[in-house]
């Protein structure tokens, strides 16, 4: 099993450009998440999904959109990139766990994005 | 606002000693707390989960406590080794702390 994979690993964008980050998992997990990690701030939740066709906003959703058309894939889109979106982006997946509370999360290797 | 805070940015200890990392939460009551390990350039890896009705949980050299009165979790690594050097993240209900970078010196 590959676990959680992310594409691409690195990307440099110019301000105003758009791009899509792809996350795929082969563990049949219901829940998927997108986080960004910035120095000194830890991981912050951007959007998450509790099942195919459903998405919800996290702590820092502005400037991002997501889609979960297939259970195994979770896409993160930046429509008009800004320098403030320079960060490392992590995707994660999990089973629902007890009473719907997220169980342990499995993380991908990350995408390092720089916006000039 | 709801926060998870890890008070120490960095912790240096000698090999063989016990490392103790602290995690505090404010303005919410997470149903569980999780601890992850993150190595440079890699994604976090899950270590332990403790629920609010559990006081303590152990796994090999790791021990986690959950004190709902103090709104705090402690993470202990006993008999620490240089291979334990990494950043350790605390998380509750999809909120993560900034992490504590642990260095274990031989």
User: A106 pLDDT band (50/70/90 cuts)?
Assistant: very high
Please tell me the predicted confidence (pLDDT) of residue A100. 55
Do A43 and B96 make contact, defined as CB atoms within 8 angstroms?
A: yes
Do A101 and B32 make contact, defined as CB atoms within 8 angstroms?
A: yes
Please tell me the predicted confidence (pLDDT) of residue A45. 96
Average pLDDT over residues B52-69: 94
Above 60 in pLDDT, residue B13? yes
User: B9 pLDDT band (50/70/90 cuts)?
Assistant: confident
Above 90 in pLDDT, residue B8? no
Q: Which of A42, A45, A108 faces B43 most closely, judged by CB atoms?
A: A108
B42 contact residues in A (CB cutoff 8 A): 109-110
Strand duo A111-115 + A73-78: pairing: unpaired
Beta bridge partners of A74: A23
Three-state secondary-structure class, residue A81: coil
| List of residues 6+ apart from B18 with CB closer than 8 A | B76, B77, B78, B79, B80
Q: How far apart are CA B99 and CA B81, in angstroms?
A: 19
Residue of chain A nearest B35, judged by CA positions: A104
Q: Write the pLDDT tens digit of every residue in A44-73.
A: 999 999 999 999 999 999 999 999 999 999
Q: How far apart are CA B55 and CA A93, in angstroms?
A: 27
**Tokens representing residue A75 in the block:** 């896409």
User: A38 pLDDT band (50/70/90 cuts)?
Assistant: very high
Please return the burial class of B53, using the count of CB atoms within 10 Å of its CB with bins 0-12, 13-18 and 19+. Answer: exposed
Residue written as token pair 């050097």: B85
User: B4 pLDDT band (50/70/90 cuts)?
Assistant: very high
Q: How far apart are CA B95 and CA A111, in angstroms?
A: 20
Please tell me the predicted confidence (pLDDT) of residue A40. 80
Beta bridge partners of A35: A45, A90
Average pLDDT over residues B56-79: 96
Contact A103, A95 (CB under 8 A): yes
Taking CA atoms, A80 is separated from A20, A35, A85, B8, in Å, by: 11, 18, 10, 36
**Tokens representing residue A108 in the block:** 């991908």
The mean pLDDT of chain A is 93
Contact B98, B91 (CB under 8 A): no
Q: How far apart are CA B80 and CA A83, in angstroms?
A: 40
Secondary structure, 3-state, B21-66: EEEEEECCCCCEEEEEEECCCCCCEEEEEEECCCCEEEECCEEEEE
Residue of chain A nearest B91, judged by CA positions: A43
Average pLDDT over residues B24-35: 92
Average pLDDT over residues A79-85: 96
């Amino acid at each position: 099993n590959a676990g959680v994979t992310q594409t691409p690993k690195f990307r440099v964008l110019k301000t105003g450009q758009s791009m899509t980050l792809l996350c795929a998992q082969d563990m049949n997990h219901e829940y998927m998440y997108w986080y960004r990690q910035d120095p000194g701030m830890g991981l912050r939740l951007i959007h998450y999904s509790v099942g195919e066709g459903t998405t919800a906003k996290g702590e820092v959703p502005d400037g991002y959109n997501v889609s979960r058309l297939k259970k195994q894939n979770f896409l993160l889109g930046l429509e008009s990139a800004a320098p403030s979106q320079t960060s490392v982006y992590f995707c994660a997946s999990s089973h629902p766990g007890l009473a719907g509370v997220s169980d342990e999360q499995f993380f991908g290797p990350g995408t390092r994005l720089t916006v000039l | 606002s709801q926060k998870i805070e890890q008070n120490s940015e960095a912790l240096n200890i000698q090999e063989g000693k016990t490392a103790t990392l602290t995690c505090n939460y404010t303005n919410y009551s997470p149903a569980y707390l999780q601890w992850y390990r993150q190595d440079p350039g890699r994604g976090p890896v899950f270590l332990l989960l403790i629920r609010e009705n559990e006081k303590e949980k152990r796994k090999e050299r790791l021990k986690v406590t959950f004190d709902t009165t103090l709104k705090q979790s402690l993470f202990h690594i006993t008999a620490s080794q240089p291979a334990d050097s990494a950043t350790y993240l605390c998380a509750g209900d999809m909120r993560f702390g900034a992490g504590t970078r642990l260095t274990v010196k031989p």
